Amino acid sequence: MSSRRTRRTFVLGDIHLFRQTPRSVVGDLTALLERYPGDRFVFAGDLLDLSAEGTVGDGHRRTAEEAILAHPALRTALARHVDRDGELWLVSGNHDAEVGESAFVDRLAGALGIASQARARVRTTPWFFRDEGLHIEHGHLYDPDNAPAHPLVEGTSLGVHFVEEFIAPTGAHRYLNANDGTPLKLFLSAFQWYGVRAPHVIYRFFHCAFGALAKSGTRFRLDDQRAKGAARTPAFAQSVGLERAALEELLSFSPSPTLASARATFARCYLDRVLATVSAAGGMAALATGRPLAGTAALSMGALGLLASWASGYDRYTGSVVERLAAGAARVSEVTQAKLVVFGHTHREALTSGYANTGSFSFPGRSPGRPYLEIEGPPSAPRAVRRYFSV
C-alpha cells in the first residue's frame, strides 16, 4: 500500500460501465475524476459490466478494453488521472471478474495509454484490498445468487447468467437494477417498459431460467472450483498480509452459490410458482370448457402449489442480500481485525461506525446525488464519510 498519507481516498461502487451506459453517468464520473487530481480512486467492484455487453459474432464476450474505449472522454480522464500522480484501484466484482486476473493491469494500462512508469499506480485484486484497518471488497461473496465458488477463481453465477442470457440478448437493460422483485412484478414491468416487445422479453426470461437449471447442481462443479481456489489462497494471503487461516474462516462463512444446487436454482427462479400458476390457469380454462373433473384437479393443484410457494418465501431476494452483507462485514471485522469494512454490490447505501456500503454511483435511487465515500482518519482507525456528486 502507498505510504503517501496526504493522498485522499475515494471509494465508488457499481458503475456498471458498458457500451450503452448513459452519457450522464459517464459524464459525472469523468467530472468526479477531474475534481480530485492526484488522489486515490478505489472502484469497489463492478466498475465494468462485461456480462451486459453481449457477445460478438464468435460467441465470446466483449472485452473490458472495448467497454472503456466506447467512452473516449472517460478513457482520457482515467489516463490523465494516473498521469497526474493519481491512483486507480480496482476490486473484482461479479460483473467484471476478469479485473482480478494477473494480466489485467497491463491490458487496462494499454487501453488507457498509460506510460509504463505510471502503471504501478494502477492496482487490481480478485478479492479485496487491505490498508491497515481498511478492508475493501465488492461483497458478492455473501450473496448466494452472485457468489463465486471461490473468490480467487473466475466462474459464473446465477446473477451473471441472467445478465448474459436474458438482459444482454433482449436489450432489457432496465432489469440491471430491478432484479429483486417477484416474477409477477417483473413481468408487468416488461409490458410497461418494453411494450410490444414484452412477450419476447418474458419468453427469454423462461429460456434463461431453464438454462440456469441445466447449469446447476453437479454441472456447476463446486468442489473442483474450490480446490483450484484453495491452491491460490496462500499466495493471496501473503499479498494482503493476513494469515491463510483467516481467509479460510471468511470462506467458511460465505453461502454456497445458488447454482451449486438444482433445487435452490429452481426455487430462486420461482419456477415452482410459475408451474403452479400454469396449472391453475389450465384448470380454470378446463372448467370454462365443460371439463369439471380435470379443471377442478388442475385448479386445486395449482392453488396448493401457490400456497406452498408463498409459504416458502413470497419474495426470495429483497432485503436478504443487504442483511447478508452487513453480517459478512461484521464477520470480516471480527476475523481480520478490520476497523472499517467497505462493500458495494447491493446498490443500497449503508454507513455505521465499522461498515459502509458505497451504494451505486450509476443507480443512486432517491439519493440527493451519485453516492461515493471518502475515507478519513489515520490508517489504523479509518472512517467513511458519505459524499454525493451533483452538477
pLDDT, tens digit, 9 for 90 and up, residues 302-317: 577 656 665 666 555 5
What's the angle, vertex CA 369, arms to CA 364 and CA 375, rounded to 5? 90
User: Which residue has cell 479509518?
Assistant: 382
User: CA–CA separation, 49 vs 64, rounded Å?
Assistant: 8
Helix (H) or strand (E) holding 129: strand 128-131
Domain covering 9-156+219-261+318-389 in this structure, CATH number: 3.60.21
Q: Is the pLDDT of residue 171 over 90?
A: no
- Grid cell at residue 140: 458478492
Average pLDDT, whole number, for the chain? 87
- CB-based contacts of 10, cutoff 8 Å, min separation 6: 32, 36, 39, 40, 41, 42, 372, 373, 374, 375, 387
- Over range 330-351, report the average pLDDT: 96
Model confidence over 13-48: pLDDT tens digits? Answer: 999 998 888 999 999 999 999 999 999 999 999 999
- CB-based contacts of 377, cutoff 8 Å, min separation 6: 383
User: CA–CA separation, 377 vs 317, rounded Å?
Assistant: 36
User: CA–CA separation, 344 vs 184, rounded Å?
Assistant: 28
| CB neighbours of residue 194 within 10 Å | 17
What confidence category does residue 196 fall into, taking pLDDT thresholds of 50, 70 and 90?
confident
Query: Residue 5: its pLDDT value, please?
Result: 47
Domain boundaries, the chain: 9-156+219-261+318-389
Least confident range from 240-249, 259-268, 292-301: namely 292-301
Q: Is the pLDDT of residue 344 over 90?
A: yes
% the chain with pLDDT above 90:
54
